[in-house]
Structure 1
Amino acid sequence: MIRIALCDDERDELNLLETVIKQYEEERNLSFRITSYKRGEELIGNWENFDIVFLDIRMSGMDGMEAAKSIRKKDMQVEIIFITSHIGLTREALAVHAFEYLEKPVSKEVLYQQMDEVLDKISRNKQIEAKRKEIVEINAGKSVIRIAVDDIYYFERNDRKIKAVTKKGSFIVNETISSLEQKLKTFDFVMPHQSFVVNINQMQDYYKDEIIMMNSDTIPVAQKRSSEFKKVMRDFLQKQMNKSL
C-alpha cells in the first residue's frame, strides 16, 4: 500500500486533488491510503511514514516550504511534490529535495504523469534497498556467517588472512579476495587495491589515492587500478543520480 498525504488550505483544491488521485488508484488497480490536511502544522503534528506528500507552498500559518523542511528532518525518503499557483520558488524546492514542482491548476493528465513517475521511482528505490538488505554467506572456516550486504564495510587481505570489517565487528574469513569480489560485485563491491574489496555504498569520501569509509577507516587505491576505479565510481554516481530523479 502506498501512503499519500495531501496538504492544502484551499478546500476545493484539496478535494479535487484527492478525487483525481483516487481515480488514478482505481484505473491503475493500485492500493493507496490517502490522508488530507488543511494546515502544515496539522501534517507535521500527525506525521506518519508517508511515501508521497503533495504540498501547497502558500498556506496560512506554516507554509509548504516550512513544512517540507520539517518533513526532511523526520524523513529523507518521502517524495515531496509541491503544488502552487505561485512561481519562482524552484531553488527552495530543490533545497528540500522535492520530486516535482507543479503549478495550479494541475490537469488530470499532468497529475497522472507525475504519479506514474513518482511510483516508478519509489519502486526502483525499494528494489535497491531490498538488494542491499540481502543476506550473503561468508565462509569463516568451521562455520558460515550470514550477514546483510549493507552491514559490510570491506574485506582486507593481510599476512595471508582475509579480514571482514562490518557494522557487527570484524572476523577472519576463509575465502580469497578474488572470490569475494566475484561473489559481491553485483552488490556494488569493488577492488580498488589487490588487498581490498570495498562496499561502495559504505564509502564516505574518495580522494585521488584513498577511500574514506563510513566507519572512518582509510582504504588505499592502487595506482594501476586508479583509472578503472574512477570509471566504476562514475558509473556508480550516475546510478545514484538516476535514483534521485
Structure 2
Amino acid sequence: MLTIGICDDRPLCRQLLEAFIHLYEKEKGVSFDIYQFGSGEELLEELNKLGMIFDLLFLDNSMKKLTGLETTKQIRQSASMSTCSIVFVTSADDHDQFMQVQPLQVLCKPGTQERIDAILDKALAKNTR
C-alpha cells in the first residue's frame, strides 16, 4: 500500500487530485493512505513531528510561502524521504526548474484521470520492486 501526500494551498485542487486517486483505487482494486496538506510548511512540520514517510507526493509549486520546489529541496535532505517519488502539479510553463530535484513527473494543472493513472502505475511499480 502506498502512502500518498497531496500538498496544495487550494482545497479544490487537493480534492480533485484525491478524487482521481480514489477512482484509480476502485478501478484497480487497490487502496492508498492519502493525506492532504495546505502548505509546504504544514507538510514539512508533519514529516518532522510525526516522522511520516510518503511513497508519493503531489506538490503544487505556487504556494503562499514555501514553493513546492523549496519544499522538495528540504524533503530530499531527509534520509527517510530521499526515495520518495515527487510529482509537481503546476501551471508553470518552465518545467526545467524542477529537474534538479529529480521528480517522477511534472504535471500541468489540473491533470487528467489518464495522467494520474499513469503516475500511480509508475509509483506502484517502483514500490513493488
Describe how 1:8-87 pairs up with structure 2 within 5 A.
Answer: 8-47=8-47, 48-74=52-78, 75-87=81-93
Letter in 1 for 2:82: M
Distance in 2 separating the partners of 1:66 and 1:123 = 29
Letter in 1 for 2:24: Y
Classify the secondary structure of the residue corresponding to 1:46.
Answer: helix
Classify the secondary structure of the residue corresponding to 1:30.
Answer: coil
Describe how 1:21-170 pairs up with structure 2 within 5 A.
Answer: 21-47=21-47, 48-74=52-78, 75-88=81-94, 90-124=95-129
* 1:2 corresponding residue in structure 2: 2
Distance in 1 separating the partners of 2:127 and 2:103 = 14
Deviations 1:21-73, CA, capped at 9 Å, x for gaps: 01111221112100000100000000111100000011111110010001101
In the alignment, structure 2 segments of 5+ residues that lack a partner are none
TM-score for the superposition, normalised by structure 1: 0.49
Higher relative contact order, chain-length normalized (CA < 8 Å, sep 6+): 2
Question: 1:103: how far off?
Answer: 0.3
Decide which structure has greater strand share. Answer: 1
Classify the secondary structure of the residue corresponding to 1:19.
Answer: helix
Letter in 1 for 2:110: P
TM-score for the superposition, normalised by structure 2: 0.90
Matched residue count: 123
Q: CA RMSD in A?
A: 1.0
* Identity level (%): 35
Question: 1:105: how far off?
Answer: 1.9
Runs in 1 of length 4+ with deviation above 4 angstroms? none
Distance in 2 separating the partners of 1:82 and 1:122 = 19
Question: 1:118: how far off?
Answer: 2.1
Classify the secondary structure of the residue corresponding to 1:113.
Answer: helix
Q: Which has the larger radius of gyration?
A: 1
Distance in 2 separating the partners of 1:101 and 1:118 = 14
Distance in 1 separating the partners of 2:115 and 2:53 = 25
Distance in 2 separating the partners of 1:113 and 1:49 = 22
Letter in 1 for 2:128: S
Distance in 2 separating the partners of 1:56 and 1:84 = 6
Distance in 1 separating the partners of 2:4 and 2:128 = 15
* 1:192 corresponding residue in structure 2: none
Letter in 2 for 1:121: K
